[in-house]
Amino acid sequence: MIVQLNIPDSIVKSIRLPENRIESELLKELAVALYAQEMLSFAQARELAKMGHYEFGQLLGERKVIRHYGEEELQEDLNYARGQ
């Protein structure tokens, strides 16, 4: 399933970013917010943000979002450490 959001032109025009960055920045913001509310796992949030493991972790740190570290995240880290 694909979900599309309709954002009024007046809002889009108010976002102080180059037009070519608006979609990617909104996806990052949504991913961080949903992760912070424990609605998405780390892997799901970074997929939504279209970011790598380390890069998304850095973003969370910059935003002072506490990592929710469970078995899924542990397995991801172990796979990452093993080069998988």
Instruction: Let me know if residue 60 belongs to a domain.
Output: yes
Q: Is residue 36 part of a domain?
A: yes
In a domain, 5, yes or no: no
Domain extent at residue 76: 13-81
Q: What is the pLDDT of residue 26?
A: 96
What confidence tens digit (pLDDT) does each residue in 15-59 have?
Answer: 999 989 999 999 999 999 999 999 998 889 999 999 998 999 999
Which residue stretches of the chain are H helix?
A: 9-14, 19-36, 42-49, 53-62, 71-81
What's the token pair of residue 79?
């796979």
pTM: 0.79
> Is the residue at 3 inside a domain?
no
- Tally the domains of the chain: 1
